[in-house]
Chain A
């Protein structure tokens, strides 16, 4: 989808010169591309001590989240891929400072709004992770942070402790967040190792399925502790039984499924959006042509005719220079404006007849007013100019003048947009 979008956009780019509508559409397409290239953001939520950071560390495969630091500061941590580990402290004014863990733990600067971390962790090639401070803490109220943070997130993981899972306050916090997240989000019951027997896990799982299922994609029980014990430093599973018991494999599969589902749906949505953009562009081009055509042309003539008429008076109606001027204006409009316009639209009988009206010279005018008293002469000249406007308007509103030249351009655009139009239909 992304490459199709990019191809269509690049093909369309030269047409931008022809119409501002094309530029608008290009911008919209570029935004769409940007949205598609963005990695899905996974926001990790839950009440305090619900195992969020441990779970994130298991996903990352390292003890990266400096628990005590973020816990004390209660700051969100945004984790992205980077080839070298890096930490950036972002303060409330948007100021960014490159730091290390040590400097972060002793941060004395402006209050931080978040920490951005870069890490060469494979999972970060597919997602970025936003780890939020825990809700429901008795002394550190995080207020509407979850609502704000989830506005820019695509997938959410709600962590709840398996031994006291899914309390009313958690349900209500979750329901307060955007419904958009629900089809891709997971409920992770952490500290699975604290359930002493397998049947207990089963029971908790069944209850959560029953009570929380309507609000999540799936429910998974995990033990970060066991997962950590099951892997060696290079993240190879050395204790397969522990690894299976940890539930992290199931969790990873579910997360991958969420990411996939989200991506697929995002592409479908993008295809539909691209189709809407293409349709809108075509309509704009069509509309803009139709509107400049008839009415605008007649109006342009009317302006010129009236300007001319105002210059013809009782005093100067017999003045040849003035009449010459009138003839020039009429001819000028005919050959300079009307003829190219008509030719652009494909020449036909109606065009010839229309253009013929504007074939006018000094002799014609002179003979038309010859022998008339000045008042009648002025009236005749004014009348002729007005009559030309009337004829022109009538002809333009009744005859069809196909815009042949720009027809080609519109057809080109339609051709270019075809993949987008079809993509939308397929979606």
Chain B
């Protein structure tokens, strides 16, 4: 059964009143990230109270960016690993995404939770456009291109016929609507389970047995599905992405899957307890690892499927850990074992489903985990325990709590974390410049009041102030010019670094190509033309990744150095503006947030990654060894050359961003300080004029009192600015420790 009618359509989250939710609502996801965000937004709001408009605008923009952020959690794995079930359990809506004993998810489905500026209910289904459909119809899309490159002329005729047949059926089934539907989308305010099935299930295979022929009606032409929900169970806004299984015999959807998950913050790779980590899983992990090594969680699903549960699961988990350690020695990928089936059953417990779930294995496992209390009865059939308690035990065994915890931790590291740390540093800069300008203002006010009290000439004072304004204007222009020059210099540094990087990557690929040619020669000699050699592209990927990151960090160091060299000069200019002010707060190293270039191009499958069958076919052609070596070297170059160029480009884009934000920050601090001082001096000039025009001493007194009030306000601003600065820097220290901790604890 794909959907249990008893649960409604599962579109509403299960109410957190269940006993499952004891334990401080551990199933809620994203709390740490939200706490960080709340704190920063709060500090930001406080800060805005004391900021002048020019700086406030910068802060408002940064706050707005952070409010728009959300985390993306992609769930991927082979067909029938239980991805949809796992998502249903994770978002606590059993039966939301349709599941089946056959591969059933045909479409990339995105579930949006409390996405800022989006609906809180409804579903949008988008169809392929004409071009995409024709490309699929041509057979296998990207895969076909790849196989053509590796083993030219090799056609899996039967498969291709099968695909064409499926597409023909779809076109036939949709009849005259077909052309009209391509490139369009459908929106539902209140999607029902039946509607969802119609779009996201691969129904065409099941037709002869279906009583409900509508399932999967549009699935073949649906590209993506978007569903919108309120926050529950997420505390931080999030999008969960369900993907069609990889390693599908129909080939066609793999490409869709990989293209849609390039920029997720957390990747949950779902394995099965029965066949944990097959070579296909490993290939998927390698691709992902190239993409985002610290964002992966491995979930071994369907432990309910295991026979001798405790020993089998222990063997699975240690086995998987060992292989991961060996494959990816430099990163620790967390591994959780569990069962989405148990979790869903716990969330939707009833007499009907308990018989399927409540097995000896479960009780054995519960005892193993220490979930069962001593002496707690574990009868079968007529269960001795109340439903609530059964649900609690089931949920505790399902591994979902650990999974939710890990997701929460990993969310800190994603794009949202990056924007939060950027916001923090912007806020700090704003607080510092606000404090600095307030001090300057305070000084001038005091001087003016002294003048009044000492009965010195206000005219002289006014002349002084006017001269000061003039000087500051010149200085402001000087600062702007200085920053312009600095920007040019930084940009030059960046492009220097990039051209070196591009050369280096090309060298890597050439060296790898000739080494592989050498290995092929050896293997060829050993086995007379049927070499057991495979091009281990992962070695090259790691190499490229290492070089890109090293070059990037080297570039970052040089940029920071350039800024450090510039800082004293800037400080000198600023001290000219206000010699008595302490500009020691001008940072010598500007960026505390860690940027990394996108490594997404590395995750693209190349023709060299195809499996043994294709290679076997390649050796069957009667090319000589020399021809093969040459062809392989060229193939390596033509497959990886474009990747390398994209990597270098993306590193360039990130570095430019870095330069832009560095300049922006300098500007926030320096230029706006000068401009604020000018504003304040102008106000002083006004005050001076009013004092001069005030004939009576009484009027003069009231102006002085006004100014004294002003002084108190400024003092308050300084103290709250300092206070905020302190809190922000305390926050940054804590946040840095938190994320560093997560990286260590991720094992």
Chain A interface residues (CB < 8 Å from chain B): 47-50, 135-139, 141, 143-144, 147, 161, 163-173, 175-176, 191, 194-197, 200, 202-204, 206-207, 210-212, 214-215, 225
**Nearest CB on B from A205, distance (A):** 10
| B206–A163 touching, CB < 8 Å | no
How far in angstroms is the closest Cβ of chain B from A212? 8
> Other CB < 8 Å A-B pairs besides A138-B281, A169-B280, 17 of them?
A135-B279, A136-B279, A137-B278, A138-B279, A144-B612, A164-B79, A164-B80, A164-B272, A169-B278, A171-B159, A204-B101, A206-B205, A206-B209, A207-B102, A207-B103, A207-B206, A211-B162
What is the CA–CA distance of A386 and B389 in the complex, to the nearest angstrom? 119
> Is B250 an interface position by the 8 A CB rule?
yes
Residues 400-432 of B, flagged 1 when their CB comes within 8 A of A and 0 if not, give 000000000000000000000000000000000
The reply on B460 being an interface residue by CB < 8 A is no
| In-complex Cβ contact of B356 among A139, A196, A211, A212 (8 A) | A196
Within 8 Å CB of A191, what residues of B? 274, 305
Give the contacts of B614-671 with A (CB-CB under 8 A). Answer: 614, 616
Q: Specify which of A147, A200, A211 is in contact with B249 (CB 8 Å cutoff).
A: A211
Interface of A (DSSP majority class): helix
Instruction: Judge whether A167 and B247 touch: CB under 8 Å.
Output: yes
A176: contacting residue among B79, B250, B616, CB under 8 A? B616
Q: Could you say which of A137, A163, A171, A176 contacts B101, with CB atoms under 8 Å apart? A: A163
CA distance A50 to B272 in the complex (A): 12
Set of chain A residues within 8 Å of B81, measured between Cβ atoms:
164
Listed in ascending order, the chain B residues whose CB lies under 8 Å from chain A are 1, 78-81, 100-103, 156, 158-159, 162, 205-206, 208-209, 246-251, 254, 272, 274-275, 277-282, 302, 305, 307, 323, 326, 356, 530, 532, 611-614, 616
Chain B residues closer than 8 Å to A197, beta-carbon distance? 1
- Residue of A141, A168, A169, A206 with highest tally of chain B CB at under 10 A: A168
Which of A171, A203, A212, A214 is close to B100, meaning CB atoms less than 8 Å apart?
A203
B636 to chain A, nearest CB (A): 22
A214 and chain B: residue at smallest CB distance: B158
Complex CA–CA separation, A147 to B206 (angstroms):
33
- Contact: A168 with B251, CB < 8 Å? yes
Inter-chain contacts of B272 with A (CB < 8 A)? 163-164
Q: B206, B280, B305, B614: which contacts A206 (Cβ < 8 A)?
A: B206
The docked-state distance in angstroms from the alpha carbon of A214 to that of B530 is 28
CB-based contact A137/B79 at 8 Å: no
Q: Which of B1, B247, B356 contacts A169 (CB 8 A)?
A: B247
- B357, chain A: closest CB distance, angstroms: 10
CB contacts (< 8 Å) of A141 on chain B: these are 279
A204-B248 in contact (CB<8A): no
17 pairs across A/B with beta carbons < 8 Å?
A: A136-B279, A138-B279, A144-B532, A144-B612, A163-B302, A163-B305, A164-B272, A166-B249, A168-B280, A170-B249, A197-B1, A203-B101, A206-B206, A206-B209, A211-B162, A211-B250, A212-B249
Are B251 and A48 touching (Cβ within 8 A)? no
Q: Given A137-B279, A138-B281, A165-B80 in contact, is the A202-B249 Cβ separation under 8 Å?
A: no
- In the bound complex, how far is the Cα of B121 from the Cα of A307, in angstroms? 113
A172 with B611, Cβ < 8 A, contacts A138-B323, A191-B274, A211-B205 known: yes
Q: Contacts A164-B78, A206-B209 hold; do A138 and B282 have CB atoms under 8 A apart?
A: yes
Measured in the bound complex, the distance between the Cα atoms of B247 and A173 in whole Å is: 12
Q: Chain B residues near A207 (CB, 8 Å)?
A: 102-103, 205-206
Residue ID in chain A nearest B103 by CB atoms? A207
Contact A203 B206 (CB under 8 A): yes
Q: Which residues of B contact A210 (CB under 8 A)?
A: 205
Report the nearest B residue to A215, measured CB to CB. Answer: B158
Given A143-B532, A172-B613, A207-B102, answer yes or no on A161-B274 (Cβ-Cβ < 8 Å).
yes
